[in-house]
Copies of this chain bind each other. A is one copy, B any other.
Amino acid sequence: MDKRPIGIFDSGVGGMTVLAQIKKYLPNEDLIYLGDTKNFPYGDKSKETIIKLSTKCIEFLIRQKVKMIIIACGTATSQSLEEVKKIYRLPIEGIIHPTVQDIKNSIKTEKLRIGVIATEGTIRSNKWQEELIRAMKEVEVINKACPLLAPMAEQGWTNNKVAKEAIKEYMKPFQNQKMDKLILGCTHYPLFCDLMKEELGNDVEIINTGEKIAKYLKEYLEKEEMENEEQHVGKSNYYLTDTECNFIEVASRLLKDETLETKIQKIDIE
């Protein structure tokens, strides 16, 4: 058993959708969350910049003595995971592999039609498509970049009229496509899940990568005997690189935790 906390990072508030699922599946693990809000958005930055930023986030979390790291950011997963895995010895996982493996293990139909929505950077990297095709032969992927959604979530616009109209617009390519699943390839997107359901109806399964990561993490820690077996409710600590943002408002609503503000510290990782 391993009492050290799990480290989680994202460019902003999106990764909190992953943290919420990890809390649910692994309630007695301690968690350390880093939101690199100073450098938000990652979505349209170059691969080189994303690698540099991811490295800084990982090194901060290593200094907090975490036992493993979850890159709870679609863009950082697609642009930097391969590279950072070569550098660091501790286990690091992103949002793509656990999600694709879970889909693979659960498929019932022979042919799958899967939609992927994500930032420009993630869609351009083609990582989701590559990993889906590698895991399953008979899969057709429909990609769509949704560059406004992460900034919108970061601003707290997840259920107002602007968000509604934006989701309507972004869901258009998926209408009447007989899709089986829609993967939310950016961790900010579960914040719009209800609006997406309204547009797509019940026939399309919307995949929240946070849940898949939490399930993967549970299995991984058990297999490696790295669980925190203490009989307690795990603590979470939150670090932000910039606090002049709507993180607290959006995250408090998501976690239903009104005391969140008191658990947040501003730090510098440069």
Contacts and interface: CB of A to CB of B under 8 A. Distances in A.
Interface residues of A, number: 21
Number of chain copies forming the complex = 2
Interface in A150-192: 151-152, 155, 157, 160-162, 164-166, 168-169
* Interface core residue of A38, A124, A151, A169 (most chain B CB under 10 Å): A151
A162 B165 contact: yes
A40 interface: yes
Contacts of A165: 160-162, 164-165
Contacts of A40: 44
A27 interface: no
A152 B170 CA distance: 13
26 contacts: A38-B46, A40-B44, A41-B41, A41-B44, A124-B244, A147-B151, A147-B155, A148-B148, A148-B151, A148-B152, A148-B155, A148-B157, A148-B162, A151-B151, A157-B169, A160-B165, A160-B169, A161-B165, A161-B168, A161-B169, A162-B162, A162-B165, A162-B166, A162-B169, A164-B165, A165-B165
A152 B149 CA distance: 11
Nearest to A270: B46
Nearest to A41: B44
Given A147-B151, A148-B151, A161-B165, 13 more contacts: A38-B46, A41-B44, A124-B244, A148-B148, A148-B152, A148-B157, A148-B162, A151-B151, A162-B165, A162-B166, A162-B169, A164-B165, A165-B165
A158 to B, nearest CB: 13
A41 B169 CA distance: 21
A75 to B, nearest CB: 14
A244 to B, nearest CB: 8
A160 B164 CA distance: 13
A133 B238 CA distance: 40
Contacts of A151: 147-148, 151
Contacts of A155: 147-148
